[in-house]
Amino acid sequence: MTSPAPEQFRPWLEQFLQYLRYERAYSAKTLETYQLQLCAVINQLPADCAGWGAITATQLQQHILSCRASLKPRSLALRVAALRSLYRYLLQQQLVDDNPAALIKVPKINKLLPKNLDVDEMSRLLDLDSAEDDLATRDQAIMELFYSSGLRLEELVNANLADIDWSERLIRVRGKGNKERILPVGKLAAQAIQRWLAVRPAYVAADANALFLSRQKTRISARHVRQRVALWGQRQGLDQQVHPHMLRHSFASHVLESSGDLRAVQEMLGHANLSTTQVYTHLDFQHLAKVYDAAHPRAKKQS
């Protein structure tokens, strides 16, 4: 557990976290991560360091270098991102004169391609016997909605009944930074949700607004959704562990594969930057490469 920040660092750190919470609408989990990363840095500085304005670029770079053996590249990049974000805020508020984090060098992170299911695997996963029990009906609706609309896990568990426009077959979701977007709901997903709504009244208690409820009659949790999706992956005989984000990845790659419209996929996924969505072009290329290898005479010819 990271120790609390020394007294001379606390006021500006608390201001920064309040800014992230109220101005940027960051989640509690993200705020905790930023605080842990920043406290890890300042707790390794000399005890007589006067505060944020007294930290030098050399000190920060030495800290990052010292952490290379104990932290993975992704964790180091997160720490630098927290420092850069903090100092941008402090400069904006005119609390420091320069940004010692601006020139920190971080190790390059190899981007892992997101894992997704192909169309046949998705069909097998979703072709479950929802008449088995009410929870199977609910789970089918959850997975159909993930695949139909590309929701994030938190967006799905926070969805309310009032978020669905049945006349237009749309759903309103609140994504990162509390940003809203409106997504289409596919015909099969809408039918699966309607089947769930028919049995849902038996699970309504305190949170009557929640779209998806648990056996305990409370809003379903992210952890429980992960467990149920993984369970159905096993029961439907898939060769890999299935998780909610995999369904979102499958939605993105299949839509891009069919349409080629990267900008539309970006909008539906709620990505702030197109570069985040571009990873799916690699998946699309993998699909094209397989088609080429299977069909092109020169690709099939043995050397």
- Local structure of residue 220 (DSSP, 8 states): P
Q: Which residues contact 237 (CB under 8 A, 6 or more apart)?
A: 124
Sign of the CA dihedral with 29 first, then 32, 37, and 38 last: positive
The active-site residue, picked from 169, 176, 217, 243, is 176
From the list 285, 225, 25, 233, the residue with the least C-alpha distance to 126 is 233
Helix, strand, coil content of the chain in percent (nearest 5): 60, 5, 35
The active-site residue, picked from 195, 248, 249, 254, is 248
From the list 72, 65, 198, the residue with the least C-alpha distance to 140 is 198
The active-site residue, picked from 63, 152, 195, 219, is 152
Q: Is 152 a catalytic residue?
A: yes
Q: Is 280 a catalytic residue?
A: yes
Q: List C-alpha distances in Å: 159 to 12, 200, 221, 269.
A: 35, 14, 11, 16
Q: Is 245 a catalytic residue?
A: yes
Q: Is 271 a catalytic residue?
A: yes
The active-site residue, picked from 21, 124, 243, 245, is 245
What are the contacts of 238-241 at 24+ separation with CB within 8 A? 238/117, 238/121, 238/124, 238/125, 240/115
**Most distant pair of Cα atoms in the chain: their distance:** 72
Orientation angle between helical segments 73-92 and 57-67, nearest 10 degrees: 160
Residues 29, 175: Cα–Cα separation, whole Å: 14
The active-site residue, picked from 24, 217, 271, 287, is 271
Question: Could you give the residue numbers annotated as active site?
Answer: 152, 176, 245, 248, 271, 280
